[in-house]
Chains A and B, each alone.
Chain A
Amino acid sequence: MNPLLEAFLGEARDLLEQAGARFLDLEKSPDDTELVNELFRSVHTIKGASGLFDIAPFTRVVHAAEDVLDRVRGEELILSSEHIDQLLDAMDQVGTWLDDLETGGSLGPEAESIGLCLSTGLREIIANCDDGEAPVGADPKAGEAVAQANPADIPWLAQVPQSLRDGLSAGHEQWVAVSYAPDEQCFFQGHDPLHTVRSLPGMAWFEVVARESWADLAALDPYLCNLEFHALSRAGQGEVEHHLRYVLDQVEILSLPSPVPAQPVGEVVDDMSAVVTPDDDERPALDTAERRAAAELLQAQLEVLSLPWEVELWAGRIQSVATVMARVFPVFGMVTDATIETAKTEALHRRSGGPLRVLIEDLLHDLAISEADIDEDDPVVPALDGTLDVVAGEDDPEDDAAQPAADKVAPKAKSCVLKVDQARIDTLMDLVGELVVAKNALPFLARRAEQVFGVRDLAREIKGQHAVINRLAEDLQHAVMQVRMVPVGTAFQRFPRLVRDLSRKLNKKVRLVVRGEETEADKNVVEDLSDPLIHLIRNSLDHGIETPEARLAAGKPDEAQILLRATQQDDRVVIEISDDGKGIDPEVIKRKAYERGLISEEVLESISDTDALQLIFAAGLSTARQVSDLSGRGVGMDVVRNAVQRAGGNVMVESELGAGTTVRLSLPLSMAVTSVMMVRVGDEGFGVPFEAVRETVRIDESRIRVIKQRETVVLRDRLLPLFRLRNLFRLTAPGRSRDNEDGVVAVLVVNVNGSEVGLVVDDFHEAIDIILKPLEGVMNGFPVYSGTALLGDGRVLLVLNLKELVQCR
C-alpha cells in the first residue's frame, strides 16, 4: 500500500477513536468547551489529511461535521442527543470508509450517495440552528448530475457571447457547463461562491444572476445568498469536479457534447481524418502507412511516459499525452474521448502514467494484431513487441519510472531488514532507561562505602566499575535509539501533493523545496511532527504567499518557494519552514492580540516585534480575514505549538514584512531520556530541564534592585527578573548554602518562553540523566511540576515546569 495512505489510515483511525469517546463525553457534559475544542481539532485534522486523497465524499462528510462542531464551539448551537447520534453515524461511516480504503484502495460503490446523505443531514443541523426553520438541505435532484447534455436544455447558454457560442457549436473544443446555486447559508460556512467560480479551472465565461428577484430592500438580508452562477469551462470534467468538490451538492456539471471529431493535429492526422469518419460503426480499414504513423505516435507517447519522472513535470506530461491521444485516436474509432479522459483523470490522481500506459499498450496491441493480418513483414511490429515486453514486466507503475534499477536489487536487500513490532523496541527502551537509573546508584554506593564503612579502596573500585557500566549503558541507549531513528523525510513525503493541490486551489504558483530529509530522529518525534508541519505549510500557502500578480508587482518571481529544511543541531533536530511570501506584520498581530484580549494595553505598547510575532501561536488568534477550508479558524498555530511542546520541543517564528516568514521547530532527537540539572532549595532537591538552563551565577545581594515590587538584577547589561524558589515554595527551613553566608545568592538563569529569568536557589548540584515520569493521581493537579524521576539513591526528584512556575508569584 501507498505509505502515505497507510499513515493517513493509522492517524485517522486514532483520531476517530478519540473523537468517538469525546462525543460520548460531550453528551454527558455539553458545556465542556475544552472537549468541544478537542473534538473540533480531531475532525479538523482528519478533514485536512483526507484532502490529500481523492475521496471527496469522505472529505465532504468530515467537513460538514467540522462545521457543526464549529457552531458548537462558537456557542451558536447546543448538541442534542439526536445530533450526537448523527455525528456518531457520520464517524462510523468514516470508519467504514477507512476500512474500505485499506482493503480496496477506494471508497465503496455507494460512497457518493451515502456521503451526500450524511453531509446533508449534518448541514441541516446548522441550517436549523441558524434560522430555526424547516431543513433547507440540498435538493436531492441537484446532486452531482454529471451527464452529457444537449445545449438546448440549458437556457442560460443563450447568454453566452456569440463568439464563444460559435466555437461551441463548431465543436472544436470540449466544454463543461456548470450551474452553481450556492446554499443560502453558504456565507456562514466560509464559502465565497464568486471566488470559487472565478477561479474555476479553464473558465471561459460566467454570469451571475439573482435566484429570486430581489426582495424589498428593507426585507433583504445581505448574508443570505440569493445568487446563482452559470459558467462555461474548457477544463476537463474531472478537474472541474475536483475544484467544486466541497460544494458538489449545489452544482450541476454538464459536459457539452462535441458533434464533430476533435481538432486534428499535424499533417499525419489531417490525412487520417480525411479518409476516416468517426460516425462509421465499423473500424475503418487503415492502410499500412497510417497504421505505422499511429503506431509511431503511440510509441512516442510511451516514451514520454517512461522518461524519468519529475514531480514538477508529471501533471503537464500526462495532460499532453492525453491531449495527443484524445485528438488522434478517436479518429481511428479505436477509443472514445471518454476512455481517454477517464485514464487521464486517474493518472492525474494517482500521479503515475500507469493508466495511460495501459491504454496505449492495449491500442498498440490492437494495431499490431490487425497489422499482422495485413502485412506480416512489417518491421514496426517486432520493435513494438520488444517495447511491450519491457513495459509489461514492470507491474508497478508507481515506482518503475522513478527507480527502474532499484527493483532488481530490492529482493536481496529486504532479507537483511528485520521488521519488529514497535512495542518490543519500546520495552527495550524502557529497560535501558531503568538501567541508566540503576547505574546512577553506584556513585551513592561508593560514597557510602567510603563514608559509612570507611573502605576507601572498595569505593574506588566501585567508581571504576561505574565508569565501565556507564559507558556500556550509554552505548546501549544510543544503539536502541538508533533502532528507533527514522528519517524525517517520512513526515515530509505527503507535502509535495499537499502543496500542489493547495496551490492550484488558491491559484498560486508555489515550488516546494525539501532539504535534509535524511536527517534522523526518533520515530515518535517524527510522527508528532507531521501534523504541525501540515498546519504550517497550509498557513504559508494560504496566508504567507501572495498571488502571482501581487508577487510580480512586488518585484518577486511569480513562483513562490516554500523551503522545508531539516538539520541536526547537537541532540536536537531543527526543522524550518520558510516561504518568500509577504511576511507577517507585527503591528497587525499586536492589534489582533489586543482586540482578542490576549495581551494587555501596556504589553501592547511595550512588546518587541520579535515577541509580537510569537503571539501567532496563542490560542484564538487568527489573522485570516475569512475562514476558508484551509485554515484561518484560529486553531492551527495553537495546535502547532501544543504538539511541538508535547514532544518536548519549541517553536519560533521570524518574519520580515514583504520578504517572507520562517517558522523554526526544534525537537529533541529522542524523548526517552531527559537531562536535568539538580538544584537545592531548603532541604529539597528539584530538577530543572537542562535545555532551559542558560547559566549559573552567584551574585551579591546588594546588586538586587526592587522594581515595581519585583526583584531584579542587572546581569551583563540585561535586566533579569528574579524568582526566589524559597518564597515560591514557602520554605522556611533554615538550610542555608555555604555560599550564601556572606550575602551572595545562587542564581540559575533559565529561558522561559523565550525570555530569561533568574531562579534564586540555595545551591547547584550536578546534571543527571533521568527518565521523566508524568505525575499521576492526586499529584496530577500540580502543574508546577512537569514530572518526577527516581534518583540512584532511591529518592524521588520533582522536576519543575518552569512555565507554570513563573506564573505564580
Chain B
Amino acid sequence: MPVIYKKTVACLEGECAVEEAEALFEWLRARPKARVNLRHLGHPHSAVLQVLMATRPVVSVAPDDPALAAWLPDAIAPTH
C-alpha cells in the first residue's frame, strides 16, 4: 500500500503512483489539519507531488531518503 491513511496522518510509502493523487487530494482537502508522514517514501509521482504542494500539509516525518529530504519538505512548505 503506497498510501496508508490513519486518523490524521497519511503515510506515503514506496513509489506513490499517479493513481494515488486523487484519493490523497480528497483526503487532505477534507482534513485541513492533516499531516503527512514521508519516512518511507521512495518516489512520489509528479501528480502526488503537486497535490502535496497545493494542499501544503504539515510534514510530520521527513523522508529517510536523503535525496528526497533535501528538497521535498521545502517544496511542500516553502520557507522563503
Residues of A within 8 A of B (CB): 182, 186-187, 191-195, 198, 206-208, 210, 214, 217-218, 220, 222-223, 225-227, 625-626
Among A182, A207, A220, the residue within 8 A (CB) of B25 is A220
B54 touches A194 (CB 8 A): no
A-B contact count (CB 8 A): 65
Question: Across the two chains, which residue of chain A brings its CB closest to B15?
Answer: A625
Most interface-central of B21, B44, B46, B49 (chain A CB within 10 A): B46
Residues on B with C-beta less than 8 A from A192 are: 18, 45-46
B47 touches A208 (CB 8 A): no
Q: A198-B43, A207-B75 are in contact. List 16 more A-B contacts (CB 8 A).
A: A192-B18, A194-B45, A195-B43, A195-B46, A206-B71, A208-B75, A220-B25, A220-B54, A222-B22, A222-B24, A222-B54, A223-B22, A223-B47, A225-B47, A227-B50, A626-B45
Question: Across the two chains, which residue of chain B brings its CB closest to A203?
Answer: B67
Residues of B within 8 A of A (CB): 15, 17-19, 21-22, 24-25, 29, 43-47, 49-51, 53-55, 67, 71, 75
SS class, residues of chain B in contact with chain A? helix
Q: How far is the CA of A191 from the CA of B75 in the complex (A)?
A: 20
Residues on B with C-beta less than 8 A from A626 are: 17-18, 45
Residues on B with C-beta less than 8 A from A220 are: 25, 54
Among A206, A208, A218, the residue within 8 A (CB) of B49 is A208
Among A186, A210, A625, the residue within 8 A (CB) of B53 is A210
Question: Across the two chains, which residue of chain A brings its CB closest to B29?
Answer: A217
Q: How far is the CA of A505 from the CA of B30 in the complex (A)?
A: 38
Q: Closest CB-CB distance, A197 to chain B, in whole Å?
A: 9
Q: How far is the CA of A206 from the CA of B72 in the complex (A)?
A: 11
Q: How far is the CA of A191 from the CA of B24 in the complex (A)?
A: 19
Q: Closest CB-CB distance, B22 to chain A, in whole Å?
A: 6
A214 touches B54 (CB 8 A): yes
Question: Across the two chains, which residue of chain B brings its CB closest to A627?
Answer: B18
| 14 sampled A-B residue pairs with Cβ under 8 A | A182-B46, A191-B46, A192-B46, A198-B67, A207-B71, A208-B71, A214-B53, A217-B29, A222-B21, A222-B51, A223-B18, A225-B46, A227-B53, A626-B18
Most interface-central of B22, B29, B50 (chain A CB within 10 A): B50
Question: Across the two chains, which residue of chain B brings its CB closest to A223?
Answer: B47
Residues on B with C-beta less than 8 A from A227 are: 46, 49-50, 53
Residues on B with C-beta less than 8 A from A625 are: 15, 17, 19
Q: How far is the CA of A605 from the CA of B25 in the complex (A)?
A: 36
B53 touches A208 (CB 8 A): yes
Q: Closest CB-CB distance, A214 to chain B, in whole Å?
A: 4
B49 touches A194 (CB 8 A): yes
Among B22, B29, B46, the residue within 8 A (CB) of A193 is B46
B46 touches A222 (CB 8 A): no
Residues on B with C-beta less than 8 A from A210 are: 53-54
Q: Closest CB-CB distance, A158 to chain B, in whole Å?
A: 10
Question: Across the two chains, which residue of chain A brings its CB closest to B67?
Answer: A198
Most interface-central of B21, B44, B45, B55 (chain A CB within 10 A): B45
A194 touches B46 (CB 8 A): yes
A187 touches B54 (CB 8 A): no
Q: How far is the CA of A222 from the CA of B55 in the complex (A)?
A: 11
Residues on B with C-beta less than 8 A from A207 are: 71, 75
Q: Closest CB-CB distance, A184 to chain B, in whole Å?
A: 11
Question: Across the two chains, which residue of chain A brings its CB closest to B2?
Answer: A625
Q: How far is the CA of A208 from the CA of B44 in the complex (A)?
A: 13
Residues on A with C-beta less than 8 A from B67 are: 198
Among B21, B29, B43, B55, the residue within 8 A (CB) of A223 is B21
Q: How far is the CA of A625 from the CA of B19 in the complex (A)?
A: 9
Question: Across the two chains, which residue of chain B brings its CB closest to A218?
Answer: B29
Residues on A with C-beta less than 8 A from B21 are: 222-223
Residues on A with C-beta less than 8 A from B22 are: 222-223
Question: Across the two chains, which residue of chain A brings its CB closest to B17?
Answer: A625
Question: Across the two chains, which residue of chain B brings its CB closest to A196?
Answer: B46
Question: Across the two chains, which residue of chain B brings its CB closest to A193?
Answer: B46
B25 touches A222 (CB 8 A): yes
